[in-house]
A and B are shown apart, each in its own frame.
Chain A
């Protein structure tokens, strides 16, 4: 009787997890794809879901930000492993960012300015502009207050602008010549 009840509970957990997995897979895969080299994406996503499965019945309301938070640890672990293997992260981080050039703005300086920012600044910009999360969701991912998220974001974007100003000025001067 007790065994039956346990099996039913496990089956229910699996059903709920399947719904959660299917609902969030694409967003998670894209989140990871923006942070690790292409060859490691599947592994990091899979590792994230393994952890999520283990903790699934320990959280009241499993959510996308909760999943992203787990993924952030898996991403860090993947970066550490990459560094241990002797690869550098800087060049790989640049690889994923397309260099789209238009008539008004060359994105090359922006790409470099972003990579030169601290990890914290880069992460907040990615969460806001690429991962399409609300500020309160970001607060959940980073375990911060919403006001702290806003402050961190504004500081990051200001620092990015500061890095861009000399570059774009010299770029413009070169063009004028």
Chain B
């Protein structure tokens, strides 16, 4: 055993090799709020909680981190519970309004029926129909385009899981499915 070998092994035992991203931002926010505020002597205030003394910035940083982790957790849980897998992969529907009703068109999307592509491609197929002018806002059905195809603006689209388990592609944003009382589309593991 030589020095180099031992040195190499010591390096592999390093217990801390990274810092969570954004921690510096939170720490700076806490530090500047508590220590750099005008007229406040630096480090003067300490708080006792649960029998131990905390510096104000240590406490603020800890609380900020805890709150951010809790926030991420709640958001993830909310997202999970407001999502549902698309179970009926035989057909999808491109809507031209952010409303459930007689607007838009069914697509037997590209990809083998029942495959993951059916759902993945539902969004892509609808985008293509918007881009090529087959779909326009509020149109009750797809327009038959004749002549050369020109490129049209594609609105922001979102995929929701319909009550019958099919994918519905609506113009809208993250809030659209919830507004319509539908869960966001979630690919089930069998679809991947």
A residues engaging B (CB < 8 A)? 14, 18, 21-22, 25-26, 29-30, 33-34, 42-43, 45-47, 49-51, 53-54, 96-98, 100, 105, 107, 110-111, 114, 125, 128-130, 154, 157-158, 160-161, 164-165, 168
Q: Is the CB–CB distance between B18 and A25 below 8 Å?
A: no
Other than the given A114-B10, A129-B10, 4 more pairs (CB < 8 A) read A49-B35, A107-B12, A130-B16, A161-B3
Q: List 21 A-B contacts (CB under 8 A).
A: A14-B36, A21-B28, A21-B31, A25-B19, A26-B18, A29-B23, A42-B58, A43-B58, A47-B55, A50-B35, A50-B55, A53-B35, A97-B13, A98-B13, A100-B13, A129-B11, A130-B10, A130-B11, A130-B15, A154-B3, A160-B6
Instruction: Tell me whether B57 is interfacial, beta carbon within 8 Å.
Output: yes
Q: With a CB–CB cut-off of 8 A, which chain B residues contact A42?
A: 27, 58, 61-62, 65
Q: Are B3 and A157 in contact (CB under 8 A)?
A: yes
Are A26 and B19 interface neighbours, CB within 8 A?
A: yes
Whole-angstrom distance between the Cβ of A132 and the nearest chain B Cβ: 9
Question: Contact between B17 and A30 (Cβ–Cβ < 8 Å)?
Answer: yes
Q: Is the interface of B mostly helix, strand, loop or mixed?
A: helix
B-chain residues with CB within 8 Å of residue A100 when the two chains form the complex: 12-13
Whether B13 contacts A111 by the Cβ 8 Å rule is yes
Enumerate chain A residues within 8 angstroms of B17, measured Cβ to Cβ: 30
Q: How far is the CA of A164 from the CA of B1 in the complex (A)?
A: 9
Q: How many angstroms from the CA of A172 to the CA of B54 in the assembled complex?
A: 48
Question: Does A46 contact B55, Cβ atoms closer than 8 Å?
Answer: yes
Cross-chain contact of A50 among B15, B42, B62 (Cβ < 8 A): B42
Closest to B10 in A: A129
CB nearest neighbor in A for B62: A42
Q: Flag B17-37 by CB within 8 Å of A: 1 or 0 each.
A: 111000110011011100110
Residue contact B9 to A110, C-beta cutoff 8 Å: yes
Tell me whether B151 is interfacial, beta carbon within 8 Å. Answer: no
A-B contact count (CB 8 A): 110
How many whole Å from A33's CB to the nearest CB in chain B?
Answer: 4
Q: Which of A14, A25, A33, A161 contacts B27 (CB 8 A)?
A: A25
Which residues of chain A are within 8 angstroms of B16 by Cβ–Cβ distance?
Answer: 30, 33-34, 96, 130
Q: B7 interface residue, CB < 8 Å from A?
A: yes
Q: How far is the CA of A19 from the CA of B18 in the complex (A)?
A: 20
Are B6 and A157 neighbours in the complex by a CB distance under 8 Å? yes
Q: What is the minimal beta-carbon distance from B64 to any residue of chain A, in angstroms?
A: 10
Contact A22 B24 (CB under 8 A): yes
Residues of B within 8 A of A128 (CB): 7
Question: CB distance B19 to A30 under 8 Å?
Answer: yes
**A158 to B10 Cα, complex, angstroms:** 13
Measured CA separation A107–B11 after assembly (Å): 11
A154: nearest chain-B partner, CB-CB: B3
- Whether B175 sits at the interface, judged by CB under 8 Å, is no
